[in-house]
């Protein structure tokens, strides 16, 4: 992982914290006023709803927000974040610059870039002005300050870390046979037909798999840090689709159908339909074991050369109806208490964005005491982080994927 220098990080934070000019009643520098105005508000939190344990975690967040602050948090369950973005776009087109239907969004880099470019987000700097920002690990997690190569500028608040890891059932699959890169995974799939697949884009996990493969097979990985070059796009991605053509021939259901999402892959691993699956959370397997969704023989592995990693965020639309409630919720989500519960595989197992060095002793000890689970790799076993490509790559790749394969989906 590339580390951002302390000087650069400090300079960015200083610059970002001087940016915000907030609407009346929504200034995080006056937190007492934020809490007062938020009481009684309903925050419509648009978030992916495809995981029972994440939904349960958000129910806990809602209960805490109600009991502590009198704020009602309603999870609007999404299957694609773009649907929430489309709502905000439609409201802006209709001139609805206040009283919007979306108050908080669990957002990925692709949609963040789109909303930033269209000026659909609350004023820059709100995230870096949150009281709990002081605990955020900007020094060692550079993806907090740059999302899919796009500077975050305090327009979104970090919520959790993510890194691609693979899972297998050690009762069925020998560890010595596991692949160590995308090329070896293809060889493994050919030797074990029907035992591997991935969710079809635009599912986030499926799209992440495509980016992982592309990062390994493109002629120059440095191209991925810049926007797509339309003149060379076809030749740049041809190795990816040549790979997928071969993979689909030996994939689950011969690439004529795909798992719906990660929970569907998890069920197929438990049922013995698939032998290798993957997720964007190093603790997913342990969480599945604790929940009784996976056998206790499931273990994790990753590629020694690196796998995709990023930070996921929450954002507030510029026209949110409950701005104060959304700010209060975003701040609670990066509190040591909420981050500790989120990292516990009993509840979710999502890696924290907080710096242990910045936490009070009691909180640091609580994190150290967490049992991350039998199937969770230690940080030193996770391998290097491969940075997310510029968001334009995924947009173009998803279109091309649908053109080539959607008829078989």
pLDDT of residue 380: 74
The answer as to whether 297 is a domain residue is yes
Asked if residues 90 and 62 have their Cβ atoms less than 8 Å apart, the reply is no
pLDDT of residue 17: 36
CA distance 68 to 175: 48
Q: Do 10 and 156 sit in the same domain of this protein?
A: yes
Q: Do 228 and 206 sit in the same domain of this protein?
A: yes
Q: Do 87 and 201 sit in the same domain of this protein?
A: no
Q: Do 194 and 235 sit in the same domain of this protein?
A: yes
Domain count of the fold of the chain? 2
Q: Do 261 and 397 sit in the same domain of this protein?
A: yes
Q: Do 22 and 145 sit in the same domain of this protein?
A: yes
DSSP 369-409: T----TTPPPGGGS-PEEPPPPHHHHHHHHHHHHHHHGGG-
pLDDT of residue 409: 46
Q: Quick one: 358 exposed, middle or buried, by C-beta within 10 A (0-12, 13-18, 19+)? A: middle
161 forms beta bridges with 311
Per-residue pLDDT 10s for the chain (409 aa) are: 333 333 233 333 333 333 344 444 567 889 999 999 999 999 999 999 988 989 999 999 999 999 999 999 999 999 989 999 999 999 999 999 999 999 999 998 889 999 999 999 999 999 999 999 999 999 888 889 989 888 999 999 999 988 999 999 999 999 999 999 999 999 999 999 999 999 999 998 999 999 999 999 999 999 999 999 999 999 999 999 999 999 999 999 999 999 999 999 999 999 999 999 999 989 899 989 988 999 999 999 999 999 998 899 999 999 999 999 999 999 999 999 999 999 998 898 888 999 999 999 999 999 999 999 999 998 778 888 888 899 899 999 999 999 999 864 4
Q: Do 350 and 276 sit in the same domain of this protein?
A: no
Q: Do 394 and 289 sit in the same domain of this protein?
A: yes
Non-local CB neighbours of 399 within 8 Å, separated by 6+ positions: none
CA distance 341 to 57: 8
Q: Do 178 and 265 sit in the same domain of this protein?
A: yes
pTM score, two decimals? 0.74
Asked if residues 301 and 343 have their Cβ atoms less than 8 Å apart, the reply is no
Q: Do 204 and 290 sit in the same domain of this protein?
A: yes
The answer as to whether 379 is a domain residue is no
Residue 40 tokens read as 């009684």
CA distance 301 to 175: 9
Q: Do 277 and 354 sit in the same domain of this protein?
A: no
Q: Residue 72's domain spans which residues?
A: 6-161+310-372
Q: Do 296 and 176 sit in the same domain of this protein?
A: yes
The answer as to whether 135 is a domain residue is yes
The answer as to whether 1 is a domain residue is no
The answer as to whether 52 is a domain residue is yes
> What is the CATH number for 123?
3.40.190.10
């Amino acid at each position: 992982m590339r580390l951002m220098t302390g000087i650069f990080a400090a300079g960015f934070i200083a610059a970002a914290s001087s940016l915000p000019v907030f609407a009346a009643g929504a200034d995080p520098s006056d937190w007492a006023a934020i809490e007062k105005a938020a009481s009684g508000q309903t925050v419509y939190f648009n978030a992916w709803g495809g995981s029972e344990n994440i939904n349960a975690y958000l129910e806990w967040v809602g209960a805490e927000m109600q009991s502590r602050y009198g704020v009602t948090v309603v999870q609007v369950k999404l299957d694609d974040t773009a649907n929430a973005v489309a709502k905000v776009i439609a409201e802006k087109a209709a001139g609805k610059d206040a009283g919007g239907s979306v108050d908080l969004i669990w957002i990925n880099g692709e949609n963040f870039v789109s909303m930033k470019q269209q000026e659909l987000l609350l004023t820059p700097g709100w995230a870096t002005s949150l009281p709990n920002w002081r605990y955020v690990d900007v020094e060692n997690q550079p993806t907090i300050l740059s999302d899919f190569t796009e500077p975050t500028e305090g327009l979104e608040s970090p919520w959790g870390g993510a890194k691609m890891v693979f899972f297998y059932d050690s009762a069925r699959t020998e560890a010595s046979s596991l692949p160590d890169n995308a090329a070896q995974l293809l060889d493994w799939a050919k030797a074990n037909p029907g035992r591997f697949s991935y969710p079809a884009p635009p599912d986030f996990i499926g799209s992440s798999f495509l980016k992982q493969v592309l990062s390994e097979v493109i002629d120059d990985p440095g191209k991925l840090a810049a926007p797509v070059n339309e003149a060379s796009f076809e030749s740049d991605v041809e190795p990816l689709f040549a790979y997928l053509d071969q993979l689909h021939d030996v994939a689950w259901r011969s690439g004529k159908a795909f798992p719906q999402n990660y929970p569907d892959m998890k069920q197929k691993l438990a049922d013995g339909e698939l032998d290798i699956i993957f997720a964007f959370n190093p603790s997913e397997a342990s969480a599945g074991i604790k929940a009784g969704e996976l056998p206790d023989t499931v273990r994790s592995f990753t590629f020694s050369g690196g796998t995709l990693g990023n930070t996921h965020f929450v954002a507030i639309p510029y026209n949110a109806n409950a701005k104060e409630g959304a700010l209060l919720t975003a701040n609670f989500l990066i509190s040591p208490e909420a981050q500790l519960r989120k990292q516990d595989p009993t509840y979710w197992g999502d890696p924290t964005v907080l710096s242990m060095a910045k936490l009070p002793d009691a909180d640091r000890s609580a994190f150290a005491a967490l049992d991350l689970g039998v199937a969770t790799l230690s940080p030193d076993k996770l391998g290097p982080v491969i940075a997310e490509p510029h968001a334009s790559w995924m947009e173009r790749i998803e279109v091309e994927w649908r053109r080539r394969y959607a008829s078989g989906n």
